[in-house]
Each structure stands twice: as C-alpha cells, then as structure tokens.
DNA sequence: GACAGCCTTCCTACTGGAAGGTAGATAAAC
DNA sequence: GTTTATCTACCTTCCAGTAGGAAGGCTGTC
C-alpha cells in the first residue's frame, strides 16, 4: 500500500465531495465505491451504516475546522484580519471550486430529515463556529479593531448568516464572485472609520 | 367533489411541505400519496415525472411570491417598511412553523444535483427576488428612506443573503427567534440615523 | 330524455433498477 | 492464528415510472 491516504480517508473524502454537491440523500454507497475504486460491501467494513459514515465525516469536518481556526489564530491576531481571512478562505474555496459549499451549511438545510446522530454533529458545528466568531467580535470590540452595532453574539450570528447566504447565492447564480461581493460591505461595516 | 382544493393542488402543497423539510431527494411519490390519500400512480396522472412535479411547484412558488410582493407594494410604499415587512413575513412563517424554510433556498443548496429544468426555475426565483430587492434599495436611496453603504444591487444581494443565512441558523439551532435576532441589526443599518 | 362516445381521474398490478445492508469466503498482515 | 481488508453474491425495501382498466361526468345527437 504505497498510498498516502488510507481507504477510510478516501471514503470520507469522496463522501464529503458528494455531500457538498447534493446533500445527505444526494449520494449513495455505490457512488463512493465508483470514485474510490472498491466495492460497496467494503465501505460497510469501514462504516457499518450511512449514518456512521456521515456522522464521522461531520465530526472530522468540525475537527479540521477547529484545527484550521487554531492555526489561523496563531498567524493572525487582529480581529478584523481574522474575519477577513475567514471570508477570504471561503471566497477562494468557492472560486477555485475545490470546496464550493460548507458541508454543515448544506446538511443544516435538510436538518429535519437527517438521522438524529448526524443532526447533533451539525448543530455542534454551528455552535463551535458561533462561539469562535463571538470571541473574535468580543476581542474586536475591546481593542477597537472592530466597530460593532450590536452585541458581539448577535454580530457573530449575523456574520455567519452572511457567509452562508453568500455561499447560497454564489451557487444559485453560478457566479463565484458574488460571494466576495456580498462579504465586502459586511466586512467594511465592521471596519472602524479611522482604518478605512 | 366538495373539496376546495383540486387534487393537483393538494399534491403540490404536500410536495412543497416535504421539500421544505428534506429537499429534492428527501421525499418520494409514496410520501405524497400517503399525505394526500391517493395512490402513487394517480400522482403520475397529474405530474408524469418527479421533475415535472417539482418544476411546476417551483414555478408556482415564484408566481405566488410575485403576487405576494405585488400585493405588498400596494399596501406599503416606504422602502424601509417594505424590507421590514419582507423580513417580518419570514420571521412569522418560521416562528409558527407554517413555512419553516424557503423552498428555493433549500433547492439552491443542492443545485448541482437537481434536474436542469428544476435548477433553471430555482435560478429564476433568485433573479426575481434580487431584482425586486434591488428596486427597493434604489427607491430607498433616492428618497432617503434607506441608508446604503454600497450600490443598490450589492445591498440587495447582501440583504437576501442575510435572510437565507438567518433561516439556516434558525433551523440549525432549532430556535426560530434567531431569525429576527439576525435581521434586526441588518434592518437597523439600513435605517437613516434621523429615523432611529 | 336517452343513449353513445369521450375525457378525466383514480385504481390495481407490475417493472427494472437502485438503495442500504448482510453472509460468507479469501488472502494478506501482524 | 487471529485480525484486517477486500471480494462475490445476495437480500429486502424502496424508488420512479408504466400498463391497462373501472367509474363517473360531460356533451352531442337523435
């Protein structure tokens, strides 16, 4: 086995790509098998049920996000720059079509139809993202690097909603630039007048 | 037939409710049959294929939205009040769980996996909503009832993104109030300082 | 008014294929 | 020699969709 990725990782990666395009009910074990190059039954060896597979996938997705955020926080301290990096990250993912949609945003839209175990993981992702953005808003309000017009918590939720809504519009119009176009004024509003 | 709704209308209504909870692949003809109280085959008489059914449903959804907007424009002239009514409409729909999600927002998230005919109708809905919101922003900028920080087009896209993102968050957290919480600062930013 | 033919709507019964999942064998790895 | 990973073969259930027919209503003609 000269491969860098384990089979289980390949299964997760292809499932993630498939979910990003069509959601939970938009892919099957047969689809994954075709991409990875193994048989359906072999997938069941790694993930007994589809629920197991997607729950693991979402857990891993959140862990990756947590690691990404931790890394970002080490490189960047300024709250405004953090928000810009976050938005910029997604702008790039959408524009180069590498990760055209947030897995958890897509799954959240079909939340009532998801297996409860998966739904719980999706909710956990939202809570994590919200908590991080709230902490960024709090730091920005404190050191004056962000101009908030509401409490940090509300500002964080509104920011996350803009990101998700902008993703949706970019997909609906088929024009990736729309994402950056929508985020630009959102970020500008948070920028102190002195820094403009 | 003492019924007020035709069977075809009942089929469309139950399909709409089912799509709102789980998207295009989240329901089947059998699900509709169970709700409406007829057999699967009878649905095929009204809508030969699932694509036909959903395309018709989205077309009708857009027509209803157009009629709703036209009615609103007759009752309300002030641009800010129009935006407030629009947001308030959704806040109510989400809070009383009657229409907990926008059909087109949900379908847009799975756009790449939809039949092309359905995808085209979803895109048309986004274009309509965007055009209307842009016209509201333009009128508001002209008569001073709205304070814009970008061009009307951009402001309209950002507003729509906030609405869709707020819907998603309300669903993800399972707390309908989040929708209004997110929209409040968005509307406040558009309100002229004198009117606050 | 009665009948004939047609149209609409719904039915039962079915098809082929895809879904998620299982049983059990094989072969290499530890 | 047990564990791990994969396979073939199969199961059950569900899916969208079809065939063909029964019931009832509408309409035109005598």
Q: How far is CA B11 from the centre of its chain?
A: 19
Quick one: pLDDT at residue A130?
A: 98
Quick one: pLDDT at residue A196?
A: 65
Quick one: pLDDT at residue A3?
A: 58
- Provide the 3-class DSSP secondary structure of residue B18: helix
The nearest alpha carbon in chain A to B104 belongs to A172
Contact with chain B for residue A110, Cβ under 8 A: yes
Task: Give the C-alpha separation, B83 to B86, whole Å.
Answer: 5
How far CA A160 is from CA of A163, B10, B148, in Å, comes to 5, 37, 21
Q: Are B54 and B113 in contact (CB under 8 A)?
A: no
Residue A26: DSSP 8-state: G
Nearest to B158 among A21, A101, A162 (CB): A162
Quick one: pLDDT at residue A2?
A: 39
Quick one: pLDDT at residue B195?
A: 74
Task: Give the C-alpha separation, A23 to B25, whole Å.
Answer: 9
Does the CB of A127 sit below 7 A from strand D?
no
- Tens of each residue's pLDDT in chain A, 196 residues: 335 689 999 999 999 999 999 999 999 999 999 999 999 999 999 999 999 999 999 999 999 999 999 999 999 999 999 999 999 999 999 999 999 999 999 999 999 999 999 999 999 999 999 999 999 999 999 999 999 999 999 999 999 999 999 999 999 999 999 999 999 999 999 999 877 6
Distance CA A138 to C1' C8 in A: 65
**Number of other CB atoms surrounding residue A66 within 10 Å:** 14
Q: Which nucleotide is nearest to B45 (CA to C1')?
A: C9
Task: Give the C-alpha separation, A73 to A67, whole Å.
Answer: 10
Quick one: pLDDT at residue B4?
A: 66
CB contact under 8 A, A173 and B126: yes
- Tens of each residue's pLDDT in chain B, 196 residues: 335 688 899 999 999 999 999 999 999 999 999 999 999 999 999 999 999 999 999 999 999 999 999 999 999 999 999 999 999 999 999 999 999 999 999 999 999 999 999 999 999 999 999 999 999 999 999 999 999 999 999 999 999 999 999 999 999 999 999 999 999 999 999 999 877 6
Q: What are phi and psi of A92, to 5 degrees?
A: -70, -45
Nearest to A188 by CA among B151, B90, B117, B142: B151
CB contact under 8 A, B161 and A166: yes
Nearest to A113 among B22, B109, B158 (CB): B22
Q: Which nucleotide is nearest to A8 (CA to C1')?
A: D5
How far CA A46 is from CA of A11, A37, A41, A53, in Å, comes to 9, 14, 9, 8
What pTM was estimated for this model as a whole?
0.94
Chain B residues 24-63 with Cβ under 7 Å of strand D are 27-31, 40-41, 44, 48-51
How far CA B89 is from CA of B74, B76, B85, in Å, comes to 16, 14, 6
Does the CB of B9 sit below 7 A from strand C?
no
Quick one: pLDDT at residue A193?
A: 86
Residue B151: DSSP 8-state: -
């Amino acid at each position: 086995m000269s491969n860098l990725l384990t089979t289980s990782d390949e299964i997760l990666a292809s499932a993630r790509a498939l979910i990003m395009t069509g959601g939970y009910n938009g892919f099957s074990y047969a689809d994954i098998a075709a991409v990875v190059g193994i048989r359906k039954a072999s997938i069941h060896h790694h993930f007994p049920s589809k629920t197991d597979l997607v729950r693991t996938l979402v857990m891993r997705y959140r862990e990756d996000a947590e690691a990404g955020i931790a890394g970002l926080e080490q490189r960047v301290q300024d709250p405004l720059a953090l928000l810009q990096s976050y938005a910029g990250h997604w702008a790039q993912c959408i524009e180069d079509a590498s990760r055209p949609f947030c897995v958890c945003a897509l799954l959240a839209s079909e939340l009532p139809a998801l297996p409860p175990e998966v739904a719980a993981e999706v909710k956990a992702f939202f809570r994590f993202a919200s908590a991080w953005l709230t902490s960024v808003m709090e730091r920005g309000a404190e050191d004056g690097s962000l101009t908030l017009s509401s409490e940090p918590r509300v500002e964080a939720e509104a920011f996350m909603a803009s990101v998700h809504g902008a993703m949706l519009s970019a997909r609906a119009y088929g024009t990736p630039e729309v994402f950056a176009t929508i985020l630009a004024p959102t970020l500008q509003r948070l920028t102190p007048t002195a820094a403009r």
